[in-house]
Structure 1
């Protein structure tokens, strides 16, 4: 297994919210975790990112991730949680620069020439270079999300985990963020895993799906295999019709029957 989980269990008090979750994430692909509210999607992502205590194992390269040091893990994976804030006076460039921490030597106080070159190239690629001197607090929601994603990318980790990266964004910014993540998987061979609510976005931009219901992974596989009327009925209780997106030719929900 390249990356994933084996028999992960998570409880909040007496309530068990994840039940023997086992999943495998494909290298260099984009995976969307989907399910109804409260199904355990974000908890799975936090368990994979070691943000919460969990029984079981997170696996990387066929070995427990816990075999690695914290600095090594920061180079392996990066997690962008759903709610994240930045200091009021920090600039875009300063925030993105923080992502280079795992690559700095123990007593290093300044960015190296290699760090500076990497940061500029990355910021140009994610289209935030022109706002590098702006205060993060003064940016729009879409700009902030792109900057935070750039900060995470500055870690240059193999695996990037994102919890609902398009929440509260308008449609144009949602598409921009998802296109950016898709490009990163394709061009930089990054492994992207995100929780997302919009099923049509998941079908359009993800390579693979992980379907979560009642704290369990009920199915995982390619979008073509899992984005079906039967699966959507079983996991979401929806009676839908499916068609093809006019531009991408990908499957999408074209109609939903009233409850």
Structure 2
């Protein structure tokens, strides 16, 4: 189980996230939703221990605050919206970075099993055929798939995803989220994802955590959270009515 307990965090002494708590069981996923600036990305950074925070994040009984960086990397993977290209690595080399937390030493070589995991991860996101291409030559959508493959190759217990379908066309949005959901259930893993598209959230999420101004507005089963009155209160628009009206135009 992943348990987030009474998290406060932010920047320059100002709390962006305020007293947020939730639980996710293994084999489940949860989507964090809410308007821009409500603290979704900041919350993910605290769960991955990238920024300091008050409160606790417990994974399978262990507090992540006290895990060494390498051990944490075998348990939690974070894919942000702004993954930087620091070096012109090939696609294969970039995805291979996900395996280094599992190696015995800094200069250890990848094993045959490591290479198989990397190639499988590349295949899952549809870029195995271009694995030798430099990442500096890729489109935004291709690059997004590279970083997803790297997260899969890391094989953590928890994958934290900040807008994982950003830059992807509709087909890959659906396929990637379908695979993530299956991956979590079949491998007893946990997905925590920030998504803006509530249609995708309806299809993907087991649970939804809804935030406004850094605080929880609602938290629970997807249908209950997204069908409640809180949706209009948080977004300032009757989203459900808008979705139904749009759907009629397809008929």
Normalised by the length of structure 1, the TM-score is 0.87
**Match for residue 131 of structure 2?**
132
Deviation of the 1:88 alpha carbon: 4.7
Match of 2:145? 146
- Cα separation, partners in 2 of 1:241 and 1:84, compared to 1, 3 Å: closer
Q: Mark the CA change 1:240 to 1:229 in structure 2 (over 3 Å): closer, same or farther.
A: farther
Moved more, 197-206 or 172-181: 172-181
Given the superposition, is the C-alpha separation of residues 106 and 16 from structure 1 closer, same or farther in structure 2, using an over 3 Å criterion?
A: same
With 113-122 and 72-81 compared, the bigger mean Cα shift is at 113-122
Match of 2:113 in 1: 114
Query: Alignment partner of 1:17: what SS?
Result: strand
Greater mean alpha carbon deviation, residues 38-47 or residues 64-73: 64-73
> What displacement does 1:14 show?
4.7
1:115 and 1:239 map into 2 onto residues whose CA distance is 48
Unaligned runs of 5+ in 1: 243-251
Mapped pair 1:254 → 2:238: no
Compute the RMSD of aligned alpha carbons: 2.0
Q: Which residue of 1 aligns with 2:41?
A: 42
Q: What is the DSSP-based 3-state SS (H/G/I as helix, E as strand, rest coil) of the residue aligned with 1:36?
A: coil
Cα 1:145–1:180 shift into 2, 3 Å? farther
Within-5 A mapping of 1:18-97: 18-97=17-96
Between 46-55 and 56-65, report the one with greater CA deviation: 56-65
Residue 241 of structure 1 and its aligned partner are, at CA, apart by 3.6
Q: C-alpha displacement at 1:204, in angstroms?
A: 1.4
In the aligned structure 2, how far is the partner of 1:143 from the partner of 1:171?
A: 14
Distance 1:185 1:116, change over 3 A: same
Question: Quick check: 2:207–2:221 contact (8 Å CA) kept in 1?
Answer: yes
Alpha carbons 1:240, 1:255 under 8 Å: kept? no
State the shift of 1:46 in Å.
0.9
- TM, length-normalised to structure 2: 0.89
Gap runs ≥5 in structure 2: 247-251
- 2:25 is equivalent to residue 17 of structure 1: no
Pairing of 1:211-250 with structure 2 (within 5 A) = 211-241=210-240
Q: Whole-Å Cα distance in 2 between the matches of residues 39 and 32 of structure 1?
A: 14
Q: 1 or 2, which has the higher helix percentage?
A: 2
CA, structure 1 residues 88+72, in 2 after alignment: closer, same or farther (shift >3 Å)?
closer
Q: Look up the match of 1:175.
A: 174
Instruction: Confirm or deny: 8 A CA contact 1:28 1:185 kept in the other structure.
Output: yes
Once the two structures are TM-superposed, the CA of residue 191 in structure 1 deviates from its matched residue by: 1.1
User: Cα–Cα, structure 1 residues 129 and 19, in superposed 2: closer, same or farther, change >3 Å?
Assistant: same
Cα distance in structure 2, aligned partners of 1:16 and 1:127: 40
Distance 1:14 1:186 in 2: 38
